[in-house]
Amino acid sequence: MFEVNDPEFDWFLQQVKKHLNIDLTGYKQHRVHRRVNMLLRRHNVESYREYLKMILGDQKFRDEFLDKMTINVTEFFRNPEKWGELQNYIKDMVKDLRGFRAWSAGCSTGEEPYTIAMILEELRAPSRASVLATDLDPWVLEKAKRGIYEERSMVNLDEAMRNRYFIKHDDGTYEIKPFVKSRVTFKRHDLILEPYENGFSLIVCRNVVIYFDQPTKDKIYRKFVEALNTGGYLFVGSTERIFNYRELGLEMVSPFIYRKRG
Ligand SMILES: C[S@@+](CC[C@H](N)C(=O)[O-])C[C@H]1O[C@@H](n2cnc3c(N)ncnc32)[C@H](O)[C@@H]1O
């Protein structure tokens, strides 16, 4: 893999870790390097030292930096056919008397965990069936908690689903209804740095680890398997494959959906 050999840049990443509590060293380095350099050029800044001062001193620049490092693009029922398939597995699990708990890891602005909550509603799951939704970026979590969305997030939702689960506002935005919201708990969590909760029937982690290098991905998948109940499912993004799934204790149910073996 292409390595970035730049001591100044390494120093910058260490400072970001120290001051912002974000470890970018597990991310694909050439990508992080390219994006930071783009921001330096945009603001006419000559050195990483100067840029660090800028992001530590001004919320606006800090938000822009976080935004560029962690792409937040998402939508409801992203890849609808895969969600349709997953719904069948969830259907069997919600009958489990131990209760159903899902985790949307890297949930961005909330479309993904609310998708799981809507599926639970469609299946008339008991109200204790819940979703933990986590992300590194506090800004996206604020937006997720507000639960107000533009048309571009809604493309996979037909009229009936929109009416059932959203309040339409005069300005054309859609707000998720309180009974759907109440199934989801949002928390800030870093998948690289922090310990994981456990006892999940389903973990959805899509379009997040694509930014990480292979050793970091491996570690994260191992921790996901530990966090899953036996028989629980791991749903990954539509360009992501876990090549060593057998070694991790998973079976492949279909492309991008894995199940923890007993
Ligand atoms: C492209 S979005 C994916 C959203 C959703 N999962 C989907 O597939 O539509 C990637 C999200 O991963 C989050 N992320 C990046 N690094 C992370 C980390 N180390 N821990 C937790 N979340 C992270 C970003 O903040 C961003 O919101």
Whether the CB of 207 sits within 6 Å of ligand 1: yes
Substitution candidate for ligand 1 out of 66, 71, 79, 135 with most atoms within 8 A of CB: 135
Q: Is the pLDDT confidence value at 3 over 70? A: no
Residue 227 lies in a domain: yes
Q: How far apart are CA 158 and CA 161, in angstroms?
A: 5
Spacing, Cα 158 to ligand 1 middle (Å): 26
Residue 74 lies in a domain: no
Q: How far apart are CA 257 and CA 87, in angstroms?
A: 12
Residues spanned by the domain of 28: 7-69
Once rounded to an integer, what is the mean pLDDT over residues 124-152? 93
- Strand 166-168 to strand 174-176: parallel, antiparallel, or no bridges (unpaired)? antiparallel
Whether the CB of 73 sits within 6 Å of ligand 1: yes
Whether the CB of 22 sits within 6 Å of ligand 1: no
Q: Is the pLDDT confidence value at 1 over 60? A: no
Q: In this predicted structure, what is the pLDDT of residue 193?
A: 93
Q: Is the pLDDT confidence value at 21 over 80? A: no
Domain boundary (49, 69, 89) is at: 69
Same domain for 119 and 187, yes or no, is yes
Same domain for 57 and 93, yes or no, is no
Q: How far apart are the first and last CA of the chain?
A: 36
Residue 110 lies in a domain: yes
Residue 189 has which token pair? 């969590």
Give phi and psi for 138, each to the nearest 5.
-60, -30
Span 83-107, pLDDT tens digits = 999 999 999 888 776 789 999 999 9
Whether the CB of 135 sits within 6 Å of ligand 1: yes
Same domain for 111 and 59, yes or no, is no
Contact 152, 75 (CB under 8 A): yes
Contacts of 111 (CB under 8 A, 6+ apart): 74, 75, 76, 78, 149, 153
Once rounded to an integer, what is the mean pLDDT over residues 60-69? 84
Same domain for 54 and 100, yes or no, is no
Residue 97 lies in a domain: yes
Same domain for 146 and 239, yes or no, is yes
> What's the number of CA atoms in the CB half-sphere (13 Å) around residue 61?
15
